[in-house]
């Protein structure tokens, strides 16, 4: 038996909303970061589901792009978080408001 | 027309000299000045050759060079009867400004020289470009070295003056860029190819309300640069704060860019709209003439005095430009050159006085009449011809400005 | 060619002296400067003998000056009867004063600069006189103004001299503005500025325009020739070296206004309103200046006001259409007034710069030549026959009388007579206070050196004999020549009524007697309240200060301080402040919290999506 496409999409949407909630509600930079990864992978899931459904490759290629970008982003993002932690001894986002006008 | 790319050589010789100066050791002040002078001198020689070989019988652009650049924008330059006098003026004034700096600028000499050289390139480019985008690039490029000259080597309130100068000018030119693009879009529709060429765009007819807006955008940019009253207040500040060389170039050449813009771009590109603007511009010009004269009378700072008198004299140029007769345009051009030479001379003189006395206040001078009388009349001379452009206002100006000029 | 040479000589002198003058020995400078003017005089004589001069005029086109569209102005020179007379006066008197200056300026440190300016002045004046169109004339007009400025302020380290120079320049510019307006109006309404064609143009122009043009030109003349209301610069101009006062501010430059009107007489003759204005202003100035001269203590200022007054006579002559008489008076005045100034300069030279008449006196003994010259000049000025001034002044008064008979104002004639009386009084006063005992000083004055004596002697001879140029008894050669030039002016050849001639002479003589009586023994008569009124120049300068200068200054200050800084710049800075304020308000939106930005992004996304979905 095959899982219907709707279930994949629902799961993707659920994961995405979870990611958004994490980004908006959590204060720890690491958690926020993980939530972003969650959002990316939610989209990945959707891509793959549609690729399977339509029988085309573009969606899967897009997933690879997203994975690569996510990997790069992890490298840069973690580096930034570590740098902030070194200078401020905190990863609480609300304490990092250098850009306040 | 001829083998050698005369105009490109003219434009980029100073920049080449700037490259050499950059490469020189900053301790070797003499060498830097010599190289810069050589560059400017070479440009002057080229300008003289240009002048000698210029054919005054034709109204078309001469010595044209054209290389496609990108997206319909060409590197297109050429010279005609309007730009030639201003090119000559630039080529003559810049070396003088450089000489005035020799000995009076002591800090960051290398940067100063490079700025002046870059300024000359940008100015020459402005006067020679016949492609609107190219013109715009050079027009904006003028601001950068001038900004540094005022902001780095200026007087006490130099930062304020430099910011004011650049903001004023940018405000005008931003709108001009929009107008250039819109004009080109219109031109593309009518001509079939995309072009920014001035000569080609002259044939484009833009419908009236739009033409009015475009012309207004151009006029604003040029009017700020001239400056037309009441957009002039950047000028006294810039003049007062700029070092002598900066004031000289500013008064002698930069102010002419606006008037040149009127004659070269505004009038031919938007004839109908220009006609409509003429009364307003003339009234503003006359106000500027009188106002500049009166205000200069009340100044105690010599540089501010000369700056306000520039407002007055340039009002005359504007008036001539919008009088729409051949005589008036001739008069305007002559007045531009005369004003460039005489006011440039005046600023050089003020520079000398300042170097000796370290004061720009009129009250502190006294008995220096030995120096000044020869130059005050100089500022008044050569003008009878220019004043022919528009009788009444012209002589009013003479009267009121002379009050100012003579007061020292 | 000859005409160009006339100007080229002093111009070359100026160039040489200006460039290398500082390195030349003084003797060479003096000879060079005087020599060039002498050569110009010789060239003028040679040119004036050319037959074309008396036939319509000798012309010398130089080059095409302005060619802008429809307007073309060639530059050229023109010598006819009128300009040949002026050229001869300018170079002749100019030469004598150059020679005089060699002695007078002998100890000055800026010897070369002085002569360079003087030569430049002669060249400019000749350009003014010989220019073939109004624009060339105007250039000369401006250049002589410049030279005047330079020479008045020659001792620029003296505050008063510098100020006087400035005043002269500015006041002249006011007149020049009117003059230029007149020229431009003429150019726009006729299309030409050629002097040769002006005559035929007068009939083409609308009367209103013609009146406007001539009045504007006359404004220029009042500036240059120091008439009411623009006379104020000339008395102050006495701060310059005395030979300069003699040459520029008595004999030549200040007569440029008279010359200009004579030059353009076809225009003025066609504008009767302007003519009556000219006559009125001339008469008023003549009387006004004479009364002020009466109470001056500074000998040179007496002569300055006297010059203004005599120039008034010349304008009266122009106004009553007696152009030949006016030009004749211009010529004789150049002789005797230059003589008076040179004598005054000689006094200054002897007394170490003292010129206040209260500190002079008793100089006649030590300075016979000078005193003799001054007296001859004084007699000529007072109009006593047979001195030169008698003939010319008499002609003018006669013309004023005739004009009054034919509908002109009698006031002009009466003012002329009154002026003649006052003139005789003040010149007698000046002579007595300066030269007769008792001496009010303890110096040992010395007679002037030969270079100063001989020019005075030559001018004295001219002041005596100059009248012959216009004396009916010897055929009045000058008047004949000029009558033919001013063909439209009524002939002045009718034998003058004896009585009419006697009145001015009697008045002049009476004035001298009165002067001798009033000031006998060098009494310092002040004339009471009337004297104070005269001394303060009828309060003219104060009225100027209060009515024109102060408001103008206030307006300028208002523009500079209020409109400029608070108005326009205030608006500019206001816009800048507005932007800053707006930024200050909007910056609150930038909290710096990453999560609020994220929330904003989310909200935005939802809005956009919602728009797309619900559309």
pLDDT tens, residue by residue, B43-85: 899 888 888 888 877 777 888 888 888 777 888 888 888 888 8
Output the pLDDT for position B355. Answer: 64
- Write phi, then psi, for C161 (nearest 5 degrees): -65, -45
- Asked if C568 lies within 8 A of B385 by C-beta distance, the reply is no
Among candidate residues C305, C248, C252, the one with its CA nearest the CA of residue C423? C305
Average pLDDT over residues B166-177: 87
pLDDT at C68: 58
A93 is a domain residue = no
CA distance C68 to chain B (A): 5
Contact between C181 and B384 using a beta-carbon 8 Å cutoff: no
Closest chain A residue to C602 measured between Cα atoms? A20
Q: What is the pLDDT of residues C94-110, one digit of tens each?
A: 999 999 999 888 888 88
Query: Is A98 contained in some domain?
Result: no
Say if A99 falls within a structural domain: no
- What is the structure's pLDDT at A1? 62
Q: What is the pLDDT of residues A22-74, one digit of tens each?
A: 988 888 888 988 999 999 999 999 999 999 888 888 889 999 999 999 999 99
What ipTM was reported for this prediction? 0.79
C-beta atoms of A27 and C588 within 8 A: no
**What letter does residue C471 receive in the DSSP assignment?**
-
Please give the helix or strand (H or E) that residue C491 lies within, else none.
Answer: none
Strand partners, C77: C60, C131
Q: Which of B168, B294, B391 lies nearest to residue C559, judging by beta carbons?
A: B294
Asked if B167 is an interface residue toward chain C (Cβ–Cβ < 8 A), one would say yes
Structural domain for A49, as ranges: 5-88
A11 domain-assigned: yes
- B171: chain C residues, CB-CB within 8 Å: none
Q: Which of C146, C185, C568 has its CB closest to that of B233?
A: C568
Residue in chain C nearest A28 by alpha carbon:
C595
CA angle B357/B361/B367 to nearest 5° reads 60
B110 close to B95: Cβ distance less than 8 angstroms: no
For residue A57, being part of any structural domain is answered with yes
- Which tokens hold the place of C530? 């009337």
Touching status, chains B and C (3+ beta-carbon pairs under 8 Å)? yes
- pLDDT, residue B408, reads 30
Rounded Cα–Cα distance for residues B219 and C613 (Å): 46
C26: contact with B, CB 8 A cutoff: no
Low-confidence ranges of chain C (pLDDT < 70): 65-72, 473, 475, 487-498
CB pair distance less than 8 Å for A94 and C586: no
Q: How many CB atoms lie within 10 A of CB B58?
A: 10
Chain C stretch 474-513, residues whose beta carbon is closer than 8 A to a beta carbon of chain B:
none
The answer to whether the CB atoms of C559 and B164 lie below 8 A apart is no
Instruction: For residue B185, give Cα distances in angstroms to B68, B189, B201, B213, C157.
Output: 18, 6, 11, 15, 66
Pairwise CA distance, residues C428 & C119, whole Å: 34
Q: What is the pLDDT, as a whole number, of residue C583?
A: 86
The two three-digit tokens of residue B311, written as one number = 């407002």
Q: Tell me whether residues A94 and C590 touch, CB distance under 8 A.
A: no
Q: Is the pTM of this model over 0.80?
A: no
Size of interface A-C (CB pairs under 8 A): 35
The residues, ordered by sequence, that sit 6+ positions from B403 with a Cβ below 8 Å of its Cβ are B293, B297, C170, C173
Of A24, A25, A97, which is closest to C592 when you measure between CB atoms? Answer: A97
CATH number of the domain within which A9 lies: 1.10.287.3510
> What angle separates helix B6-23 from helix B109-128, to the nearest 10 degrees?
170
The fraction of chain B above a pLDDT of 70, given in percent, is: 84
Q: Which residues of C touch B232 (CB under 8 A)?
A: 568
3 state SS of B79: strand
Which of C 567-586 lie inside 8 A of B, CB atoms? 568-569, 571-572, 576
User: Which site among B227, B373, B383, B389 would you substitute to test the C interface, given the most C Cβ atoms closer than 10 Å to its Cβ?
Assistant: B373
State which residue of chain A sits closest to C592, comparing Cα positions.
A100
Separation CA B115–CA B154 (nearest Å): 14
At C384 the three-state DSSP class reads coil
Decide: helix, strand or coil at residue A28: strand
SS3 B67: strand
pLDDT, tens digit, 9 for 90 and up, residues B320-336: 788 777 667 777 777 77
Distance from the first to the final alpha carbon of chain A: 57
B303 or C380, higher pLDDT: C380
- Chain A residues lying within 8 Å of C602, measured CB to CB: 20, 24
Instruction: Burial-class residue C124 by CB neighbours within 10 Å (0-12, 13-18, 19+).
Output: buried
Pairwise CB contact (< 8 Å): B403 & C170: yes
Identify which of B164, B167, B406 has the shortest CB distance to residue C169: B406
How many residues does the structure list for chain C? Answer: 615
DSSP A94: G
Q: Into how many domains does chain A fold?
A: 1
Asked if B287 has any chain C CB less than 8 Å from its own CB, the reply is no
Residues of B in contact with C141 (CB under 8 A): none
User: For residues B336 and B122, what is the distance between their CA atoms, to the nearest angstrom?
Assistant: 19
- Measured CA to CA, the distance from residue B195 to residue C85 in angstroms comes to 67
How many Cα neighbours within 13 Å face the side chain of C163?
A: 6
Shortest Cα–Cα distance, A37 to chain C (Å): 15
Neighbours of C528 (CB within 10 A): 8
Preferred mutation among C592, C600, C601, C604 to probe A, highest tally of A CBs within 10 A = C592
Asked if C180 reaches chain B (Cβ–Cβ under 8 Å), the answer is: yes
Contact A101 C590 (CB under 8 A): yes
Nearest residue, CB atoms, B388 vs list C71, C149, C576: C71
Q: Determine whether the interchain pair B384/C180 forms a contact, defined as Cβ–Cβ distance below 8 Å.
A: yes
- The neighbours of chain C, by the rule of 3 or more Cβ pairs under 8 Å, are A, B
Angle between helices A5-25 and A29-54 (to 10 degrees): 160
Report chain C residues whose CB lies below 8 A from the CB of A24.
595, 598-599, 602
Interface of A with C in 15-44 (CB under 8 A): 20, 23-25, 27, 32
Confidence of residue B301 (pLDDT cuts 50, 70, 90): confident
Residue A24 lies in a domain: yes
Q: Is the torsion defined by CA of B316, B271, B138, B91 positive or negative?
A: negative
Q: What are phi and psi of C284, to 5 degrees?
A: -60, -45
B74: left (phi over 0), alpha (psi -120 to 50) or beta: beta
Length of chain A: 101
- Give yes or no for C526 touching B (CB within 8 A): no
Q: Quick check: C139 contacting B, CB < 8 Å?
A: yes
Place of tokens 């409109």: C563
**What pLDDT does residue C552 have?**
76
**Min distance A28 CA to chain C CA atoms (Å):** 11
Q: What is the Cα–Cα distance from C397 to C317, expressed in whole angstroms?
A: 8
Q: Rounded CA gap, C435 and C453, in Å?
A: 17
Nearest CA to C441 out of C357, C332, C543 is that of: C357
Nearest to B370 among C71, C156, C553 (CB): C156
DSSP letter for each residue of B135-152: HHHHHHHHHHHHHHHHHH
Task: Tell whether A41 is covered by a domain.
Answer: yes
Q: Which residues in B lie closer than 8 A to residue C571 (C-beta atoms)?
A: 230
Residue contact C135–B391, C-beta within 8 A: no
Q: Residue B368 above 50 pLDDT? A: no
Q: Which residues of B touch C146 (CB under 8 A)?
A: 377
Q: Which residues pair with C64 in a beta bridge?
A: C74
């Amino acid at each position: 038996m095959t899982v219907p496409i709707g279930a994949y999409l629902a799961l993707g949407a659920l994961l995405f909303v979870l990611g958004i909630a994490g980004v908006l509600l959590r204060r720890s930079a690491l958690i926020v970061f993980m939530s972003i990864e969650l959002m990316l992978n939610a989209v990945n899931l959707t891509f793959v589901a549609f690729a399977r459904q339509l029988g085309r490759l573009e969606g899967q290629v897009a997933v690879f792009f997203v994975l690569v970008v996510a990997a790069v982003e992890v490298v840069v993002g973690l580096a930034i978080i570590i740098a902030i932690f070194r200078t401020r001894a905190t990863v609480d986002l609300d304490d990092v408001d250098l850009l306040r006008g | 027309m001829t083998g050698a790319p005369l105009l490109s050589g003219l434009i980029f010789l100073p920049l080449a000299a700037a490259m050499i100066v950059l490469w020189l050791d900053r301790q070797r002040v003499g060498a830097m000045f010599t190289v810069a002078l050589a560059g400017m001198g070479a440009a002057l020689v080229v300008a003289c050759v240009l002048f000698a070989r210029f054919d005054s019988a034709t109204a078309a652009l001469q010595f044209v060079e054209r290389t496609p650049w990108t997206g319909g924008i060409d590197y297109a330059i050429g010279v005609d009867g309007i730009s030639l006098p201003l090119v000559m003026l630039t080529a003559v004034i810049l070396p003088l400004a450089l000489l005035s700096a020799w000995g009076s600028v002591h800090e960051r000499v290398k940067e100063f020289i490079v700025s002046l050289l870059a300024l000359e390139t940008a100015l020459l480019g402005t006067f020679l470009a016949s492609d609107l985008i190219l013109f715009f690039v050079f027009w904006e490029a003028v601001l950068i070295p001038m900004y540094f000259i005022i902001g780095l080597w200026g007087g006490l309130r130099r930062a304020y003056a430099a910011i004011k100068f650049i903001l004023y000018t940018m405000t005008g030119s931003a709108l001009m860029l929009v107008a250039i693009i819109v004009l080109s879009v219109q031109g593309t529709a009518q001509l079939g190819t995309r072009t920014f060429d001035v000569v080609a765009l002259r044939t484009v007819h833009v419908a009236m309300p739009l033409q009015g807006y475009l012309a207004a955008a151009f006029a604003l940019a040029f009017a700020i640069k001239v400056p037309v009253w009441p957009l002039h207040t950047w000028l006294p500040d810039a003049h007062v704060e700029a070092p002598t060389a900066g004031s000289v170039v500013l008064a002698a050449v930069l102010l002419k860019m606006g008037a040149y813009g009127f004659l070269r771009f505004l009038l031919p590109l938007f004839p109908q709209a220009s006609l409509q603007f003429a009364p307003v511009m003339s009234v503003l010009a006359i106000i500027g003439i009188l106002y500049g004269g009166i205000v200069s009378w009340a100044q105690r700072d010599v540089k501010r005095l000369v700056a306000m008198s520039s407002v007055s004299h340039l009002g005359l140029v504007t008036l001539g430009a919008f009088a729409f007769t051949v005589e008036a345009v001739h008069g305007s051009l002559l007045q531009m050159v005369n004003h460039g030479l005489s006011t440039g001379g005046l600023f050089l003189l003020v520079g000398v006085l300042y170097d000796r006395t370290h004061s720009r206040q009129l009250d502190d001078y006294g008995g220096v009449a030995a120096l000044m009388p020869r130059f005050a009349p100089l500022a008044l001379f050569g003008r009878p011809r220019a004043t022919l452009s528009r009788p009444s206002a012209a002589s009013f100006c003479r009267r009121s400005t002379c009050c100012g000029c003579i007061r020292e | 060619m000859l005409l160009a040479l006339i100007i080229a000589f002093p111009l070359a002198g100026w160039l040489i002296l200006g460039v290398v003058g500082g390195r030349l020995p003084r003797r060479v400078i003096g000879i060079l400067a005087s020599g060039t003017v002498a050569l110009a005089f010789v060239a003028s004589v040679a040119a004036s003998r050319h037959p074309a001069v008396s036939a319509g005029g000798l012309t010398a086109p130089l080059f095409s000056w302005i060619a802008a569209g429809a307007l073309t102005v060639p530059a050229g020179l023109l010598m006819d009867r009128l300009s040949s007379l002026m050229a001869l006066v300018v170079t002749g008197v100019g030469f004598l004063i150059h020679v005089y200056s060699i002695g007078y300026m002998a100890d000055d440190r800026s010897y070369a600069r002085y002569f360079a300016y003087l030569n430049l002045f002669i060249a400019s004046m000749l350009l003014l006189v010989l220019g073939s169109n109004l624009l060339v004339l105007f250039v000369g007009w401006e250049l002589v103004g410049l030279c005047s400025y330079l020479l008045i302020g020659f001792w620029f380290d003296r505050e008063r001299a510098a100020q006087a120079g400035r005043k002269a320049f500015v006041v002249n510019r006011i007149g020049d503005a009117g003059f230029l307006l007149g020229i431009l109006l003429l150019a726009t309404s006729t299309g030409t500025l050629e002097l040769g064609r002006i005559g035929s143009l007068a009939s083409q122009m609308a009367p209103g325009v013609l009146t406007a043009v001539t009045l504007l030109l006359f404004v220029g003349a009042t500036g240059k020739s120091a008439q009411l209301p623009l006379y104020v610069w000339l008395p102050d101009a006495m701060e310059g070296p005395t030979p300069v006062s003699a040459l520029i501010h008595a004999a030549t430059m200040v007569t440029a206004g008279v010359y200009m009107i004579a030059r353009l007489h076809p225009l003025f003759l066609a504008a009767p309103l302007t003519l009556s204005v000219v006559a009125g202003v001339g008469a008023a100035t003549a009387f006004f200046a004479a009364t002020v001269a009466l109470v001056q203590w500074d000998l040179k200022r007496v002569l300055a006001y006297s010059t203004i007054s005599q120039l008034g006579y010349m304008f009266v002559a122009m106004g009553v259409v007696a152009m030949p008489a006016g030009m004749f008076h211009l010529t004789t005045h150049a002789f005797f007034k230059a003589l008076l100034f040179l004598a005054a300069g000689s006094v200054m030279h002897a007394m170490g710069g003292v010129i206040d008449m209260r500190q002079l006196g008793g100089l006649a003994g030590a300075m016979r030549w000078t005193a003799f010259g001054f007296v001859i000049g004084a007699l000529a000025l007072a109009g006593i026959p047979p001195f030169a001034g008698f003939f010319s002044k008499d002609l003018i008064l006669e013309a004023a009388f005739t004009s009054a008979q034919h509908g002109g104002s009698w006031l002009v004639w009466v003012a002329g007579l009154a002026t003649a009386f006052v003139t005789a009084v003040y010149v007698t006063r000046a002579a007595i206070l300066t030269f007769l005992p008792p001496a009010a000083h303890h110096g040992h004055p010395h007679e002037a050196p030969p270079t100063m004596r001989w020019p005075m002697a030559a001018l004295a001879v001219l002041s005596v004999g100059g009248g012959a140029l216009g004396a009916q008894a010897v055929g009045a050669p000058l008047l004949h020549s000029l009558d033919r030039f001013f063909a439209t002016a009524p002939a002045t050849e009718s034998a003058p009524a004896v009585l009419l001639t006697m009145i001015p002479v009697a008045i002049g003589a009476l004035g001298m007697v009165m002067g001798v009586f009033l000031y006998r023994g060098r009494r310092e008569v002040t004339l009471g309240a009337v004297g104070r009124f005269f001394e303060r120049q009828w309060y003219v300068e104060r009225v100027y200060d209060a009515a024109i200068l102060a408001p103008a200054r206030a307006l300028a200050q208002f523009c500079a301080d209020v409109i400029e800084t608070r108005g326009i710049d205030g608006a500019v800075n206001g816009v800048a402040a507005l932007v800053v304020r707006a930024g200050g308000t909007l910056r609150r939106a930038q909290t710096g919290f990453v999560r609020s930005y994220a929330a904003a992004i989310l909200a935005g996304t939802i809005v956009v999506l919602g728009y797309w979905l619900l559309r």
